[in-house]
């Protein structure tokens, strides 16, 4: 046993649990136990109140990326083992970009409007959003003369 570990075992751990070296833990009175129990009940009530205010977590069952026939409301796993590339066709504004998806060497004819920050994006380049692998088709929108699917990243619930 190393010296550092021996010091932890002999001195620090007993201090953390409220016992001095060579001393047994003093039994608590009923009053002390009841006070601690009341504090614990109060904390449980606080946590239950906080839990009630948090939006329920949406369970996502991502679908494999289809060849066609995308459905509004469906969530898709955009990045596959086959190698997915997202090509920027047009940076629409600071929060949306028109893209074409390529998996392997196949470019999908369907265009998508991805709702994602576009800072640093350039038309014709590829990008990878390593924080968002799952995207939900949330609707359609007219961009230029074409109607495209709108895709938004699936984000974990945010604590209020």
Quick check: 48 pLDDT over 70?
yes
Q: Are 97 and 119 in contact, with CB atoms under 8 Å apart?
A: no
- Backbone phi, psi, residue 127, to 5°: -140, 155
pLDDT in tens, 56-77: 655 555 666 666 678 888 888 7
Domains of the chain: 3-53 (no CATH), 63-153 (2.40.50)
Q: How far is CA 31 from its chain centroid?
A: 44
**pLDDT for the residue numbered 59:** 57
> pTM to 2 decimals?
0.56
* Helix and strand totals (H; E) in the chain: 3, 8
Cβ neighbours of residue 155 under 8 Å, at least 6 residues apart?
132
Return the closest-CA partner of residue 75 out of 132, 19, 126: 132
């Amino acid at each position: 046993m190393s010296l550092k570990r021996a010091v932890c075992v002999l001195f620090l751990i007993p201090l953390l649990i409220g016992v001095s070296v060579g001393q047994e833990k003093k039994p608590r009175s009923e009053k002390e136990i009841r006070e601690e129990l009341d504090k614990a009940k109060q904390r449980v009530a606080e946590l239950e109140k906080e839990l009630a205010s948090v939006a329920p977590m949406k369970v996502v069952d991502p679908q494999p990326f289809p060849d066609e026939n995308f459905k509004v409301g469906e969530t898709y796993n955009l990045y596959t083992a086959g190698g997915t590339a997202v090509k920027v066709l047009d940076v629409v504004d600071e929060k949306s970009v028109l893209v074409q998806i390529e998996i392997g060497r196949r470019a999908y004819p369907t265009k998508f409007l991805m709702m994602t920050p576009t800072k640093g994006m350039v038309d014709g380049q590829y990008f990878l959003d390593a924080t968002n692998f799952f995207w939900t088709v949330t609707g359609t929108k007219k961009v230029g003369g074409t109607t495209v699917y709108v895709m938004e990243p699936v984000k974990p619930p945010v604590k209020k």
